[in-house]
């Protein structure tokens, strides 16, 4: 009998976790949590709350993700990728949510800095 072996991929397997911040139901985290608008978007986008220096993968693996409408992701004046104040607000809220059932130390081990002061 012939044995087929799968070629070993060189790529490291990426771990995935569901968002700890919200269900994936089409709502934008900023629209709903900041502006209390509960509209659902067909073109909702996943945002990795902590990014740069390998943090994107850590965000993906731990569910540090939010779903955002294009205006609040990249396009509008209060989009997380354009507005540092809004970016920090989402980062603080994510750390806060994580620390409901984890310690500050566990957060620091993953992300390397503290956003809550």
69 sits near Zn ion (criterion: CB under 5 A): yes
- Please name the residues in contact with 90: beta carbons below 8 A apart, sequence gap of 6 or more: 29, 30, 47, 49, 66, 80
Q: CA-CA distances (angstroms) from residue 61 to 10, 35, 53, 70?
A: 19, 28, 15, 23
Q: Which residue, 9 or 84, has its beta carbon nearer to Zn ion?
A: 84
Give dist(CA 9, CA 107) in Å, integer. 31
30 sits near Zn ion (criterion: CB under 5 A): yes
Options 19, 47, 59, 91; binder of Zn ion; rule CB under 5 A: 47
Considering only residues 96 through 115, tell me which ones interact with Zn ion, judged by CB under 5 A: none
72 sits near Zn ion (criterion: CB under 5 A): yes
Q: Which residue, 45 or 102, has its beta carbon nearer to Zn ion?
A: 45
* Residue 13: Cβ-neighbour burial (10 angstroms; 0-12, 13-18, 19+): exposed
Listed ranges 11-19, 47-55, 59-67, 97-105: which one lies at the site for Zn ion (CB under 5 A): 47-55
Interface ranges with Zn ion (CB under 5 A)? 28, 30-31, 47, 69, 72
């Amino acid at each position: 009998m012939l044995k087929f072996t799968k070629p070993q991929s060189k790529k490291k397997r990426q771990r995935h976790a569901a968002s700890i911040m919200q269900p994936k139901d089409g709502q934008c985290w900023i629209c709903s949590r900041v502006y209390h608008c509960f509209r659902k978007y067909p073109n909702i986008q996943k945002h990795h709350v902590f990014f740069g220096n390998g943090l994107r993968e850590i965000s993906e693996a731990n569910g540090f993700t939010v779903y955002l409408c294009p205006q609040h992701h990249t396009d509008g004046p209060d989009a997380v990728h354009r507005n540092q104040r809004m970016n920090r607000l989402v980062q603080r809220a994510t750390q806060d949510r994580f620390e409901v059932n984890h310690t500050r130390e566990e957060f620091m081990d993953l992300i390397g800095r503290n956003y809550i002061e």
